[in-house]
Amino acid sequence: MTLQTRFTPQLAQAPLVAYGFDPFEEKLLAILRHLVTEALAPGQASWHRAFVIAGETWGEQQGLAVAHALWPVVRELIALRGAEFAYNDPLDIDMRGLVTVDESQLLAMLHHMRRDETAAARDAVEELTHGRMDPDLIRAALSFADRFPSGARQRLRGHPPLRVVG
């Protein structure tokens, strides 16, 4: 099977903006696509593109940390779902604003975990995994969510808040 046949047909697409993901989650999409490509077809340097995009998006320190923390999520997902995971070609400009059902489910899982919405996160995991509640995937995703939470907890761990002293 060639890499090209792993991409989803254009009929199963929806606009990314329709899901209500925050800007951080929307920016994860390109990185996720490159990491999925690497997981399914190692040796194509897609991981490198993912790390470059992350560094350009959030700066070297935070961006590389995002890509590094996201890799175990993708690795565990592909170990579970394999080539049946439908995703768009990360290099296809026409697909940048569109997501597959699988991509939206992955982002939804991270969305709910980053907000500590347990019931919704559990439902998202169940949809993404087709009922196979894989502990390794859940652990990797929770680790990512803990490191990059949403809202008031969004500050990276280990970085003190800035304070004005006079």
- The pLDDT tens digits of the residues spanning 40-91 come to 999 888 999 999 999 999 999 999 999 999 999 999 999 999 999 999 999 9
- pLDDT number for residue 38: 95
Residue 29 has pLDDT above 80, yes or no: yes
Average pLDDT on 91-115 reads 96
- pLDDT number for residue 63: 96
Residue 154 pLDDT level (bands cut at 50, 70, 90): low
Write down the domain spans for the chain: 20-149
Residue 93 pLDDT level (bands cut at 50, 70, 90): very high
End-to-end CA distance of the chain: give it in Å, rounded: 64
- pLDDT number for residue 166: 57
Token pair, residue 11, equals: 């009929």
- pLDDT number for residue 4: 37
73, 140 Cβ separation under 8 angstroms: yes
Give CA separation, 107 vs 3, 39, 53, 86, 161, in Å: 22, 17, 17, 13, 28
47, 34 Cβ separation under 8 angstroms: yes
